[in-house]
Structure 1
Amino acid sequence: MLVRIVKMSFEPSKIEEFLTNFEIVKDKIRTFEGCNFLELYRDQNNTNIFFTYSYWNSEDDLNNYRHSKLFKDIWAETKPKFNAKPEAWSVDKIASLK
């Protein structure tokens, strides 16, 4: 399993547009083949910063998503709203406590 974390910083005036679009596409992302989990977080202090946190079966599954029409459409809608370059990490889960 691969965990993908993406940090995005938005122009404050574009946040509501981003959130509206995320509501529309979140189920499509979550049900994309190989995606097992998806969450969106918002920084408590810098409220224009958001993070997506997703679980993928494999790097191939993540890459299939990143090269899909779905991703390209979402990225075309999202990218113009950024006020800083997004950052992304693919990580392995070491421990999980419940």
Structure 2
Amino acid sequence: MLIRLVRLTLHPERVSDFLALFRASESHIRQQPGCRHLELWRDADQPHIYCTYSYWDDDTALDAYRRSALFGEVWPATKRLLAAPAQAFSSQRAG
């Protein structure tokens, strides 16, 4: 299992746009082959910073999503709302 965390620093005035985009696409992302879980987190101290937390079967499933038409729509729309480059991390359980 691959655990993916993506930290998104949004322009504060664009948070509501991001939330609308996420809500419109989250069920479609969850339906992608190999996606086992997806959550959205908000930073406790900086309310314009969000993280997506997802589980994927493996890096092949995540890469297939990144090549999908859905990602091709969602990611460019998300990038336009960012105040800083996204930070993404892929991890696996260590034990």
Instruction: Give TM class, smaller chain.
Output: over 0.9
What residue in structure 2 maps to residue 62 of structure 1? 62
The residue correspondences of 1:35-54 to structure 2 (distance < 5 A) are: 35-54=35-54
Aligned position for 2:27: 27
- Secondary structure, in 3 states, of the residue corresponding to 2:83? coil
Q: 1:35 offset after TM fit, Å?
A: 0.2
CA RMSD of aligned residues (A): 0.8
Distance (whole Å) between structure 1 residues aligned to residue 75 and residue 53 of structure 2: 16
Partner residue in 1 for 2:16: 16
Q: Deviations over 1:31-66 (max 9, x none)?
A: 100000000000010111100000000100000001
Measured after TM superposition, the shift of residue 94 of structure 1 is: 2.6
**Normalization by structure 2: what TM-score?**
0.97
Give ranges in structure 1 of 5+ residues lacking alignment.
none
Any gaps of 5 or more consecutive residues in structure 2? none
Q: State the match for 1:91 in structure 2.
A: 91
Count residues with an aligned counterpart.
Answer: 95
Q: Which amino acid aligns with 1:79?
A: K
How far apart are residue 88 of structure 1 and its match?
0.3
**Shift in Å at residue 77 of structure 1?**
1.1
Cα distance in 2 between the residues matched to 1:87 and 1:47: 17
Identity of aligned residues (%): 37
